[in-house]
């Protein structure tokens, strides 16, 4: 049972910035006593002259239910001798100037459906979880040596029903089987904190402890996450600890003064986003935010966080030079330390576009302590290269190789996120230059290059449909496209590519060390062909990857290989079943003892237009030929789309 009155120790920890379960003290809580169920309220409003509770139960007149100020630092508290479960309420805060503000509870567990903004008294402890096997498995596993393909989703626009959002229950029935069918390992959900504006996608929050009511109740969300875990899908929550919404009912100027936000305007305001920056120098704000992370882990069994806009925390906003915000970096270290202490298997992922060093190094080694960092440099370079016409790519060649200069400096995730396919940036498919066929071929090539490149993978919903339209952020995905041949083939291609990746230790076991990657030829800019080797823990188990970024094809293209023997093509993006021209390597490729590309041996192979080929060295064993289960499917004669050289 929760304690009735705040203890001196709890208050000390809160003001010290170390009350990491502050949600157990603050907010509204139902307490069982001999007299029955009581409802306790506790809030931090350091500059308030008075604080009262107004709600349905008192006709929104708070004068009958004042809170008592329990310390000089501004914690207010009361117990109402009623069971107020399900009741609407707000804090009625009287400022020093005598102005009355109606504020939602910063620690509320549930809120009214927008556009209404009241908090709801709600208990979270009745749901019975059935994911113990998943949590035990997560605790024992190490994600760095595992395949990871993250499907980033905005729940409101993945699919709709009669123009309305699917509920958490409906999403469990439809989204989870879809993720399983395609082979994604994780689901990353755009922010689920309560927020007033749909088109903010949750990035401008007001209720950090309140799962948005757009899709159902908190217990419905628990059911959805529970079902994900029972189907072996990890759930990552997009989380925004840097800035918050300025709507009148929210955290901004909470008691008439700057409580949660920086006091100086330059540090506080985000003109572009229309938000306010959290004052990370305040101990109480640190208690609020870190306890919020622990809350989502404890109450919702979240598997990790994608931490939004880390650069806006590392550096002071609105300053011309990149000047470190020491309060921001100290907060990030403290956050990651506490999450690691709670559960080392939780993923902490930094959305960071800066060159700040050691983002994914442990705090005790001087790092920020994240598990992974989005590789924004790779994403920007690769998309810029792909949007260049094929004939001109030789002038942009370095954009495809530069990432390997720093690929092992951090634990990276390669992201093609929602930010890349919205607000006029075009969909991934439509970014590809050329005609209809060439767009699909280059999209397949891009995805193959991504999956062969070191780093975990993240892709935003809709890419697997081959959508020509960018994310419209209010309408559902273009599901009708699956009626058309090339889109259906693209969808099949994605499934096969993920299947190959997940069964290929060469593509994920050694992603953080140089030993896992070796260039064969990084310098062929005239033909825009890249070839490299990927290895797993066993250095003799390797893949040869060849990617051709032009529309020319080659019948006898020569590349160096590290060992003599035979090589089998196990994957080719140009297969007819994927929509390609079927210029593939059906037969085993025998090495020749001719030094090439710095190797003692070489092979000659077919290179398809805008195609990616993956080869595996065939090791002879007694009593059998070859050792791979992979078989390249051959199909009908090429349609002759590419140019033969």
Instruction: Catalogue the active-site residues.
Output: 308, 351
Query: Residue 313 and residue 329: Cα distance in Å, rounded?
Result: 7
Helix (H, G, I), strand (E, B) or coil at 503: helix
Helical segments of 231-365, H only = 265-268, 283-300, 311-314, 326-342
Rg (CA), the chain: 27
Query: Residue 569 and residue 529: Cα distance in Å, rounded?
Result: 17
Name the pairing type of β-strands 552-561 and 601-607.
antiparallel
The answer to whether 125 touches 134, Cβ cutoff 8 Å, is no
Angle between helical axes of 283-300 and 8-16 (0-180°, round to 10): 110
Q: How many CB atoms lie within 10 A of CB 522?
A: 15
Tokens encoding 473: 């952020």
Query: Residue 272 and residue 409: Cα distance in Å, rounded?
Result: 31
Provide CB contacts within 8 A for 87, sequence distance 6+: 39, 55, 56, 57, 120, 121
Residue 615 CB-density burial (10 A; 0-12 exposed, 13-18 middle, 19+ buried): buried
Sign of CA dihedral 399, 401, 405, 411: positive
Helix (H, G, I), strand (E, B) or coil at 28: strand
At CA 127, angle to CA 123 and CA 132, rounded to 5?
135
The answer to whether 486 touches 440, Cβ cutoff 8 Å, is yes
Q: For the sheet with 243-245, list strands across it.
A: 243-245, 275-277, 269-270
The answer to whether 530 touches 613, Cβ cutoff 8 Å, is no
- Beta partners for 406? none
The answer to whether 267 touches 276, Cβ cutoff 8 Å, is no
């Amino acid at each position: 049972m929760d304690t009735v009155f705040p203890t001196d120790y709890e208050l000390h920890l809160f003001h010290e910035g170390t009350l990491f379960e502050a949600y157990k003290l603050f907010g509204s809580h139902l307490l069982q006593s001999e007299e029955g169920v009581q409802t306790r309220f506790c809030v931090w409003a350091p500059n308030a002259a008075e604080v009262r509770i107004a709600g349905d139960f008192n006709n929104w007149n708070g004068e009958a239910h004042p809170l008592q100020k329990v310390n000089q630092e501004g914690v207010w508290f009361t117990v109402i001798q009623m069971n107020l479960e399900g009741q609407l309420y707000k804090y009625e805060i009287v400022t020093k100037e005598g102005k009355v503000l109606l504020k939602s509870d910063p620690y509320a567990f549930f809120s009214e459906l927008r556009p209404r903004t009241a908090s709801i008294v709600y208990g979270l402890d009745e749901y019975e979880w059935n994911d113990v096997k998943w949590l035990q498995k997560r605790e024992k596993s190490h994600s760095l040596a595992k395949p990871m393909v993250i499907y980033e989703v905005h729940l409101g626009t993945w699919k709709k029903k009669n123009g309305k959002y699917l509920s958490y229950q409906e999403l469990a029935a439809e989204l989870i089987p879809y993720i399983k069918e395609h082979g994604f390992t994780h689901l990353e959900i755009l922010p689920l904190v309560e927020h007033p504006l749909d088109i903010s996608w949750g990035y401008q929050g007001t209720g950090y402890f309140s799962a948005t009511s757009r899709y159902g109740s908190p217990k419905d969300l628990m059911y959805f996450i529970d079902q994900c875990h029972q189907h072996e899908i990890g759930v990552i929550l997009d989380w925004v600890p840097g800035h918050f919404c300025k709507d009148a009912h929210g955290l901004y100027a909470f008691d008439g003064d700057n409580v949660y936000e920086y006091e100086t305007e330059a540090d506080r305001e985000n003109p572009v986003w229309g938000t306010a920056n959290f004052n990370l120098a305040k101990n109480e704000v640190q208690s609020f935010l870190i306890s919020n992370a622990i809350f989502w882990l404890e109450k919702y069994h979240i598997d990790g966080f994608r931490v939004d806009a880390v650069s806006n925390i590392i550096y002071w906003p609105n300053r011309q030079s990149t000047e470190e915000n020491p309060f921001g970096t100290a907060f990030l270290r403290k956050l990651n330390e506490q999450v690691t202490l709670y559960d080392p298997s939780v993923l902490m992922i930094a959305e960071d576009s800066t060159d700040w060093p050691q983002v994914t190094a442990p705090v005790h080694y001087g790092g920020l302590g994240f598990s992974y960092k989005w590789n924004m440099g790779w994403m920007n370079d690769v998309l810029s290269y792909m949007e260049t016409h094929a004939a001109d790519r030789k002038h942009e060649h370095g954009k495809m190789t530069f990432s390997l200069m720093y690929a092992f400096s951090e634990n990276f995730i390669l992201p093609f996120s929602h930010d890349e396919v919205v607000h006029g940036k075009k969909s991934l498919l439509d970014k590809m230059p050329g005609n209809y066929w060439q767009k699909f071929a280059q999209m397949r090539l891009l995805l193959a290059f991504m999956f062969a490149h070191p780093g975990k993978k993240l892709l935003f919903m809709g890419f697997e449909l081959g959508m020509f339209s960018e994310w419209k952020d209010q309408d559902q995905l273009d599901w009708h496209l699956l009626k058309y041949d090339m889109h259906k083939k693209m969808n099949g291609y994605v499934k096969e590519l993920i299947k190959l990746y997940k069964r290929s230790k060469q593509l994920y076991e050694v992603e953080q060390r140089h030993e896992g990657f070796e260039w064969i030829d990084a310098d062929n800019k005239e033909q825009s062909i890249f070839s490299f080797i990927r290895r797993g823990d066993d250095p003799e188990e390797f893949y040869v990857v060849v990617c051709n970024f032009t529309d020319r094809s080659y019948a006898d293209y020569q590349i160096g290989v590290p060992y003599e023997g035979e090589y089998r093509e196990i994957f080719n993006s140009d297969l007819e079943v994927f929509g390609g021209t079927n210029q593939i390597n059906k037969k085993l490729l025998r090495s020749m003892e001719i030094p090439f590309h710095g190797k003692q041996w070489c092979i000659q192979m077919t290179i398809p237009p805008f195609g990616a080929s993956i080869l595996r060295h065939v090791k002879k064993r007694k009593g059998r030929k070859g050792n791979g289960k992979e078989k390249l499917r051959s199909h009908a004669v090429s349609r002759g789309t590419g140019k033969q050289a």
